[in-house]
Structure 1
Amino acid sequence: MREWPDEPEGSMIRVVLVDDQPIVRAGVGRILGHEDGFEIVAECGDGREALAAVSEHRPDVVLMDIRMPVMDGVEATREISRLADPPPVLVLTTFDEDDVLWGAIEAGVSGFLLKDASADDLIAATRAVAAGGAWFDRSVAPRVLEAYRGRVAPANRERQRLEQLTERENAVLRLMARGAANQEISQALHVSEATVKSHIGAIFAKLGVRDRAAAIVFAFDHGVVAIGEDPREH
């Protein structure tokens, strides 16, 4: 690990640079210069060195390679994310395979940039991530958006459906999911069966399901109840 003078200058963005190739660190260091508002506070050759540098220097952003000896960039990012007030991590890598991309995202990176990116993109990405934003290389952005549209966005929409349920409707759904009939729900909640039927109709409408079985599956799939749980405890 090579360290640089740890003396912030005004509003300089303080960077820890992590890459096992000295020539890459040298090139990035020339791009992220003082004239553009950056200060490289430490250079590291592997993820373990990066952890020590982050703890010591408290940088604004970490530029992280992925494939390195001792500790790779994914594991280092995962460890950094567990620190108190961790800095954001921008991956800078040669590899754009799915396992590298999703491994980095799941570890908690805020950005993903390929090493063949332009100097302007490197500067812009580092600034964006240091400021709390996100940046994805244009070559991987379509895959990230596709995954969001296919998995994350629908999941968010389904969570929003659950948020529409009232406290009483949630209670009815929980009892339904544990196999309670309308009469049993009525007795447990001290309401009439007509009221229970009204709640069930509202649940179907809000969750976008057609019948009791679909509502029960929805409840289990989204953690409303867990297998073996007694809803009467809530």
Structure 2
Amino acid sequence: MKIVIADDHPLFRSGVRNLLGTTEDLQLVGEASTGDEALELAAALQPELILMDIRMSGLNGIEATRLIKERFPHIEVLILTMFQDDQSVFTAMRAGAKGYVLKDADENELLQSIRMVGSGGAVFSADIAARMIHYFAAPKPAMKRDHPALAELSRREMEILECIAEGQSNAQIATRLFISIKTVANNISTILNKLQVSDRNEAKRLLQDSRED
């Protein structure tokens, strides 16, 4: 299995390189330190799997994953990171990642995860799986049907609207969702247009009014 690793820490890349060197079925064919480099290597090397960090300079790992899956859907992505917050996990999943493993996983877990995702499966570390179970088991606020315009919003637009309702700035939304500030601004413009409101405060009130007591 041909593998590329994208991580901005040379020591971590070295550790993964040494680990894969002990196997007969896994071959590290390229290393990237940014999301942009990962995208370039995906095009040039066509690996079966990319090990992707989230926080990297330039194009981050989430956006790189999204672009790679759009352009090369046959390439699988396994997220390797220290971030285990819900937003990071679910944003990575929506971007197309098939696995999410923390960097402190032991060698056997990492190798098993690589083989599982590389063969088309999905895998999540125990801590991440527990968070997912809790997230989906938790009751979600119900929506009234008084505002059909909300149904016109895409999943990403609803995420941004939720952030607006929490009082987050464009920069904070961009950081939370791993997208650019320009993308946030463009989405907010679309949201206001779909909801037929004039500003963020009106959009926030519309969402709040849609929540059942």
Above 0.5 in TM-score?
yes
Secondary structure at the residue paired with 1:139? helix
Unaligned 5+ segments in structure 1 are 1-12, 152-215, 224-234
Relative contact order, CA 8 A, sep 6+: which one is greater? 2
2:118 is matched with 130
Quick one: structure 1 residues 72 and 221, their matched pair in 2 at CA, closer, same or farther if it must change by over 3 Å?
A: closer
Please name the residue that 1:100 is paired with: 88
Alignment deviations for residues 119-177 of structure 1 (CA, whole Å, 9 cap, x no partner): 001100000000000110111101223344568xxxxxxxxxxxxxxxxxxxxxxxxxx
- Asked if the contact 2:6/2:38 (under 8 Å) is kept, the reply is yes
Q: Percent identical across equivalent pairs?
A: 35
Task: Give the Å deviation of 1:90.
Answer: 0.2
Alignment of 1:1-234 (within 5 A): 13-33=1-21, 35-149=23-137
**Cα distance in 2 for residues equivalent to 1:221 and 1:21:** 42
| Partner Cα distance (1:110, 1:14) in 2 | 16
Q: Deviations over 1:67-114 (max 9, x none)?
A: 000111001001111114331100000111122112211211100000
Greater Rg, structure 1 or structure 2?
A: 1
- Aligned pair count? 151
CA contact (8 A) 2:48 2:74 kept: no
SS in structure 2 at match of 1:140 = helix
Scaled by the length of structure 2, the TM-score of the pair is 0.63
Moved over 4 A (4+): 148-151, 220-223
Which residue number corresponds to residue 158 of structure 2? none
Assess, with a 3 A threshold, how the Cα gap between structure 1 residues 56 and 114 changes in structure 2: closer, same or farther.
Answer: same
Q: RMSD over aligned Cα, in angstroms?
A: 2.7
- Runs (5+) with no aligned partner, structure 2: 140-144, 153-213
Cα distance in 2 between the residues matched to 1:118 and 1:91: 15
